[in-house]
Chain A
Amino acid sequence: MMSRFFNHKLALCGLVIILVISAFSFSAPLICRYQPDDIDIGKYLMPPTSEHWLGTDLLGRDLFSRIAYGGRISLSVGFIAVGLMAVVGICFGALAGYYAGKIDELIMRFVDIMFCFPRFILILAIISMLGPNIFIVMAVIGLTSWMGISRLVRAEILSLKERDFVLAARASGVNDFKIIIRHLIPNSMGPVFVSATLGVAAAILLESSLSFLGLGVQPPTPSWGNILMDAKACLGVAWWLSVFPGLAIFFTVLGYNLLGEGLRDLLVPRK
């Protein structure tokens, strides 16, 4: 399994990108010479120099530090939103798949309804009602994206529950709850891993879009999205302000997508 993963060049490439970017973000206090909110008005809009590696923004804040610290926020939002999405998706999917019948019908129609909402507009509406806040952003992204996973899990469990080891577990007196938790869900994780990995990329993009619109992470806390929003004002004069955070988002999303595709090749059997 591990060797197959290491032979899969693209997946490995994705993993390396993710690890480098994560290491860069989470060791930010060690590698950054400036705090992300240190304002130095005298050095505003400086292009990349040896002092400020990626230049400074309109308030003279160091862009390198802001991208590093912003990455922590963006990556965390991605991870926590996807964690939430996986938990909710797996719960609904497992219930629908295992109990079938009316419960299945009810949950799957609810999934269909959730799919009907234009997701971005729904998220915008909820956030403008509840107010922008990093935790609300995580929760809203997670709670509007679990439907795909619940469909996957349901499909897996529909076929898994007919397998002999489930019958054997029932024959040894294991109750329904433990059969779902211990025997069915762990066996249906392959496609969930793939979907969750790709989901991290989508969640990071979504968070960036929201922050870009001013409805995500609020300044002065940096996130890749709101750095871009600040950059919008001086797009013509300071190319570095939009290019570097853009590249950070680009590479992170690329990394997760490559890893997700690789995991799909490895974990989800195809005809």
Chain B
Amino acid sequence: MKKNDLLEVKNLKTSVFNDQRQVCVVDDVSFSIYENSVLGLVGESGCGKTMTALSLTKLVGSAARFEISGAVNFNGKDLLSAPAKDLLRVRGRQITYIFQEPSTCLNPVLTVREQMEEVLRLHRKDISRSGYDKFLVEGLEKVGMNFAAQKLKTYPHQLSGGEKQRIMIAMATLSRPKLLIADEPTTALDVTIQAQILVLLHSLKRELGIAMLFISHDLDVIGEIADYIAVMYAGKIVEISPAQKLLLTPKHPYTKGLIDCLPQNCKDNIRRRKVIAGEVPRGGIYPAGCRFHPRCPDCMDKCRTRPPPVFRSKDAEEEVSCWLYSN
């Protein structure tokens, strides 16, 4: 089956200017998201996952402090060179976001109804005002919200974390987007709610045919939902593969390290979890050569001096940036 690209990111580069110093937080990142599929983006905190997601629709902040280059082709249009006006029609209509912390993503002084109606007014001109109520209740019921009609009247502080995240998801699907960018949508929730939200996102993908970019630092969570997984380290993507292949036969030492860190893979000594020694380089000061080499168990001489290029498998499904695969 041929897969259609919905979103194609080429050489995306995002830099921040901090005290006259330029820090490259997303460096030369390329990936594709296919229609009706989920790309998982995984990596430790501070790897540039969120910055990648925000850069796609130029949400990073004021142009004075951020510089984005590269290309983001969405539906045959480059979002990075599109005028701001066009972006307003892409954000929230074709590409929607869910963020990590549901409790801070809702406006504390507006009711749930007011916030949801804002989305309808902007992106669903096909629905008349009198139909809003019914539509919103249905929207909330679709994401498994109990007492939907009553919840519309509440303020965010009256809701639990799980309920707020359901509302965020409902808001992100009201406009029937083509792509949903979920930035750690389950991280702030406890495990049982986390599982429910994952099931919900899964069913939304199946029923509404929404493609997703799913960001998490938890490989377990990513493994449950993603069709493809991209692993990010220090602003670069080090490996992209179909989910099963990546989890079963990881190639990059960093991916292997992440998988070894999962609790179920520490059977021999449950009390002593494995860790990847060292830390993600901070403040945009990256080591020369491969950025992972100071922490890499398989580090070779050339890793210290030359950054590895991207090596593709024969079927072009797997990509890895590591000198181990240079032959």
Contact for B107 among A165, A170, A171, A175, CB less than 8 A: A165
Given the complex, which residues of B lie within 8 Å of A174, measured CB to CB? 92, 118, 122
CB distance from B157 to the nearest CB of A (A): 11
* B119 adjacent to A182 (CB under 8 Å): no
A82 CB, nearest partner CB in chain B, Å: 22
Of the candidates B88, B106, B110, B168, the one whose C-beta lies within 8 Å of that of A175 is B88
**CB-based contact A172/B108 at 8 Å:** no
Contact mask for chain B residues 158-185; partner A; CB cutoff 8 A; 1 contact, 0 none = 0000000000100110000000000000
The reply to whether B106 and A165 contact each other, CB–CB distance below 8 Å, is yes
Indicate whether A183 reaches chain B with its CB closer than 8 angstroms: yes
Q: Mark B194-221 against chain A: 1 for CB-CB distance below 8 A, else 0.
A: 0000000000000000000000000000
Say yes or no: A168-B105 contact (C-beta < 8 A), given A101-B64, A173-B92: yes
Q: How far does the Cβ of A153 sit from chain B's closest Cβ, in whole Å?
A: 15
- Taking a contact as CB atoms under 8 Å apart, the answer to whether B122 and A168 are in contact is no
Across chains A and B, the number of contacting residue pairs, with CB separation under 8 Å, is 66
Interface positions, chain A 114-129, Cβ under 8 Å from B, are none
Q: Which of B92, B106, B109, B119 contacts A186 (CB 8 A)?
A: B109
B residues less than 8 Å from A175 (CB atoms): 88
Docked-complex contact A165 and B105, CB < 8 angstroms: yes
Q: What's the Cα separation between A178 and B119 when bound, in Å? A: 12
Task: Determine if A165 and B93 form an interchain contact, defined as CB atoms under 8 angstroms apart.
Answer: no
The answer to whether A170 touches B110 (Cβ under 8 A) is no
Instruction: Say whether, besides A100-B62, A168-B168, A186-B110, A173 and B104 are in contact (CB < 8 Å).
Output: no
Whether A9 is near chain B, meaning CB under 8 Å from some CB there, is: no
Stretch at the interface among B95-103, B125-133, B277-285: B95-103
CB of A51 within 8 A of chain B? no
B107 with A187: CB separation less than 8 A: yes
Structural contact, B109 and A168, CB atoms closer than 8 A: no
A163 contacts B by Cβ under 8 Å: yes
Digitize B221-255: 1 where CB-to-A-CB distance is under 8 Å, 0 elsewhere: 00000000000000000000000000000000000
Query: Is A169 an interface residue when CB atoms closer than 8 A count as contact?
Result: yes
B104 x A164 contact (CB < 8 A): yes
Asked if B13 lies at the interface with its beta carbon under 8 angstroms from chain A, I say: no
Which residues of chain A are near B101, meaning CB under 8 Å? 164
Nearest CB on A from B166, distance (A): 15
State the CA gap A169–B172 with chains docked (Å): 11
- Residues on B with beta carbons closer than 8 Å to the beta carbon of A170: 59, 91
B93–A173 CB distance below 8 A: yes
Residues of A within 8 A of B92 (CB): 171-174
Q: Is B57 in contact with chain A by the CB < 8 A criterion?
A: yes
For the complex, give the distance between the alpha carbons of A109 and B172 in Å. 41
- Tell me if A167 counts as interface (CB < 8 A to partner B): yes
Q: Is B123 on the interface with A (CB-CB < 8 A)?
A: yes
Check if B104 sits within 8 Å of A171, measured CB to CB: no
Neighbouring A residues of B93 by C-beta, 8 Å: 173
Q: Which residue of B lies closest to A162 (CB)?
A: B61
B89 proximal to A (CB < 8 A): yes
B90 within 8 A of A: yes
Within 8 A of B (CB), among A166-217: 167-175, 178, 182-183, 186-187
Check B122–A164 contact: CB distance below 8 A. no
- Chain A residue nearest to B96 (CB atoms) is A172
Contacts of A169 in B (CB 8 A): 107, 118
CB distance from A106 to the nearest CB of B (A): 16
* B122-A173 in contact (CB<8A): yes
The interface bits of chain A over 130-149 (1 if a CB of B lies within 8 angstroms of the residue's CB, else 0) are 00000000000000000000
Assembled-state Cα–Cα distance A183/B114 (Å): 11
Are B105 and A173 within 8 A (Cβ)? no
5 pairs, A vs B, C-beta closer than 8 Å = A164-B104, A167-B105, A182-B118, A183-B107, A186-B109
Q: A171-B97, A182-B110, A186-B107 are in contact. List 11 more A-B contacts (CB 8 A).
A: A165-B106, A165-B107, A169-B107, A170-B59, A172-B92, A172-B96, A172-B122, A173-B89, A173-B122, A178-B118, A186-B110
Please give the residue numbers on chain B whose beta carbons come within 8 Å of chain A beta carbons, in ascending order.
57, 59, 62, 64, 88-93, 96-97, 99, 101, 104-110, 118-119, 122-123, 168, 171-172
